[in-house]
Amino acid sequence: MIDKKTETNIKAVKSFLELWVKFHSIYSGIISKEIILKEDEDRFFETLGMIKNRYGELTKSLDLKYMPHSRLTDPVTDILAISGIRLMSEKNLKRLSEDWSDSYIFLNGILEQLKKRKRMLGEFNPVGVFFKRVFEKR
pLDDT of residue 125: 62
* For residues 94-117, average pLDDT: 88
Domain of 62 in residue numbering reads as 4-137
Of the candidates 103, 97, 98, the one whose C-alpha atom is nearest the C-alpha of residue 66 is 103
Q: Check residue 54 and give its pLDDT.
A: 93
Q: 50 pLDDT band (50/70/90 cuts)?
A: very high
**For residue 85, is pLDDT > 90?**
no
Higher pLDDT, 9 or 127: 9
Q: How much is the mean pLDDT over the chain? A: 83
Q: What's the rounded mean pLDDT across residues 7-32? A: 91
Res 63 pLDDT > 90: no
Nearest to 84 by CA among 41, 37, 55: 41
pLDDT at residue 40 in the model: 87
Mark out the alpha helices in the chain (DSSP H runs).
4-31, 38-62, 75-80, 90-122, 126-137
Average pLDDT, integer, range 78-91: 83
What is the number of structural domains in the chain? 1
